[in-house]
Structure 1
Amino acid sequence: MKSFDWTVIGTDLGPLLLAATENGLVSVAFHADQATQGKALRELSSRLGAEPVADATGLLVEPVRQLEAYFSGESHDFTLSLDWSLSGGFNRVVLRELATGVPYGTVVAYGDLAARVGQPGAAQAVGAAMGSNPLPVVVPCHRVVESGGRLGGFSGGLETKRKLLALEGVLPEPLF
């Protein structure tokens, strides 16, 4: 049976679970405590048709390095191979545009992102794409906000979104 590598790294946001296939980074999961790890690995195993192996092949060396550089403020860009197999159709189109077209330290409104992919008026569908993003942080769904500037939703929680935007200089640092 096929396998995928996984590991957990510590960040200021809490533990992140990373998973990679031979095609690239396939998943990033927030708040990866023991219970979340088990659930995430079972879901990934089912969706990928592969067994999880704790970073056996070194596929995660570069993703770990780049994420650590991002969180320390040393790097603003990710140059990783990404495995898009957990995303398809409209969601994949939106996420690819987000990954390449919304740089560090900027934000874009849901409706503006919809227009960029040729679907003006599909702001809610863009929101659904953000919620299904299997690669948060690397594919920066935290940079998508409501048209009035409000944060909108975030799968990792609004406090996590605030912290990521503060890290990138978009918002002031949280007070506590």
Structure 2
Amino acid sequence: MDSSERPRGPHLEWTVVAGGVGPLLLAATPQGLVRVGFHAGPDRIDRMIGSLVSRLGADPWRPRPGREVLLAEPIRQVEAYFAGSLRRFELPLDWRLSSGFNRRVLLELDRSVPYGQVVGYGELAARVGQPGAAQAVGNAMGSNPLPVVVACHRVVENDGGIGGFGGGVEAKRILLALEGVLPEPLF
């Protein structure tokens, strides 16, 4: 399909933006932002888009830069976040890629852990009524389809360790430093 020709049926608009942690894939449906993907180099984009198309049943569409319809505001807000001028994303989100316990945890994280703060895996488990489910919270963070926007980098180990991160521990350090939680990485 010509990139200037917008699909007529259900579609998935996508693009890649330069984030402070490397290239990020952003994808949106008419319901809202549906996916943020780390390490969006040429070797990974086809797999990420293919997975989205398979799960959502929508036609992918990559508009020319500056011609985005569904992604114009997400692009603006992601750029503002990495520039340090945005502290809370205000975007419609399409939650179809998350369900059950994982979605409850991610919604609680988004609602209750603001910019510049962190929460332990166990504490977040307790907040959703599942004390003792810290490992399940870790799994929910790993399945987050909207990292950066739904800030799973703000979830750390209860003993103060940084914990894991789907985008890599170095990306987590960069995001926490951007929010003033950690000192800027030396390199």
Q: Same fold (TM over 0.5)?
A: yes
Q: Which residue of 1 aligns with 2:73?
A: 62
Structure 2 counterpart of 1:114, which letter? A
Please, which of 38, 49, 55 is the counterpart of residue 46 of structure 2? 38
TM-score where L is the length of structure 2: 0.92
Q: Which consecutive segments of 4 or more residues in structure 1 shift more than 6 A? A: none
Structure 2 counterpart of 1:139, which letter? V
Distance in 1 of aligned mates of 2:149 and 2:83? 15
Q: Which residue of 1 aligns with 2:163?
A: 152
TM-score where L is the length of structure 1: 0.98
1:1-176 superposed matches below 5 A: 2-55=10-63, 58-176=69-187
Deviations 1:129-153 (CA, angstroms, capped at 9, x unpaired): 0000000000000000000110111
Which secondary structure state, in structure 2, belongs to the residue aligned with residue 10 of structure 1?
strand
Distance in 2 of aligned mates of 1:157 and 1:146? 15
Query: Alpha-carbon deviation of 1:26?
Result: 0.2
Instruction: Work out the number of aligned pairs and report it.
Output: 176
Query: Alpha-carbon deviation of 1:51?
Result: 1.6
**Which runs of 5 or more residues in structure 2 are unaligned?**
1-8
Which structure's CA Rg is the greater one?
A: 2
**Which runs of 5 or more residues in structure 1 are unaligned?**
none
CA RMSD of aligned residues (A): 0.9
Query: Alpha-carbon deviation of 1:13?
Result: 1.0
Query: Alpha-carbon deviation of 1:48?
Result: 0.6
